[in-house]
Amino acid sequence: MCADNASYESLTSLSRAIEKLFTEIIGILKTRGLEYLHFYRRAANQIVEEMNELLQECTGGLVPDYARFYREAPRIFDKGYSHRLCKEIAKVTKEFLESSKELPDTNDILAKLNSNDKKFKLSLEKSRRDFQKYKLLIGLIGQMRNPARSIFEKALSLNQETTR
């Protein structure tokens, strides 16, 4: 419907420029988007690793190292990636529940402690450490303000549905 080719070129040049711009944007998103995805994934994994190392270092004794954990853990949580930390907290909860199910009845514990059952003693140590990790997280999250507190409390929930 244009009078000549020059008019047509004039009308369509803007649409071609816009199309070219969007094609370049899509190209950048495809290449750089993966770079950013990998960057954020590495950062989230590093924060989860920091939390797990701190939990490991603060457990295993007669009582957990509450003072150190409560002093250092907020710095880890302040770095962000709460979605990954929630998954990890749910994992700690699940491990605690599973390891506590593996323990024998109270009457059998004393007998097994007196035996040389290394497998039982390792299982008992794992259960104790898992319980201490769970206790540390309960205490820390109990000190948080909402909405963070309610979000992390859900990850700590004893409800099996949230720990899957």
Q: Is 70 exceeded by the pLDDT of residue 47?
A: yes
Report the distance separating Cα 7 and Cα 1, nearest Å: 10
pLDDT at 160 over 60: no
Does the pLDDT value for residue 79 go beyond 70? yes
Q: Check if the beta carbon of residue 118 is closer than 8 Å to that of residue 53.
A: no
The reply to whether 123 falls in a domain is yes
Number of neighbouring beta carbons within 10 Å of residue 137: 24
Asked if the structure places residue 36 within a domain, the reply is no
Do the domain assignments include residue 15?
no
- The predicted-structure confidence for 91-122, as pLDDT tens digits, reads as follows 888 888 887 776 666 666 655 666 777 777 77
Q: What is the maximum span of the chain, computed from C-alpha positions, in angstroms?
A: 101
Mean pLDDT over 40-51 rounds to 91
pLDDT value at 154 more than 70: yes
Residue 14 lies in a domain: no
Higher pLDDT, 123 or 159: 123
Is 139 within the bounds of a domain? yes
Among 18-22, 43-47, 107-111, 130-134, the minimum mean pLDDT is found in 107-111
Domain that holds residue 56: 47-163
* % of residues, the chain, pLDDT over 70: 84
**Whole-number average pLDDT of the chain:** 81
Distance CA 88, CA 163 (A): 10
* 80 falls within a domain: yes
More confident residue, 9 or 140: 140
pTM of the predicted protein model: 0.68
Domain assignment present for 130:
yes
Which value, to the nearest 10 degrees, does the dihedral of the CA atoms of residues 25, 30, 35, 40 take?
A: 90
Q: What is the pLDDT of residue 53?
A: 96
Structural domain count of the chain: 1
Judge whether 3 lies within some domain: no
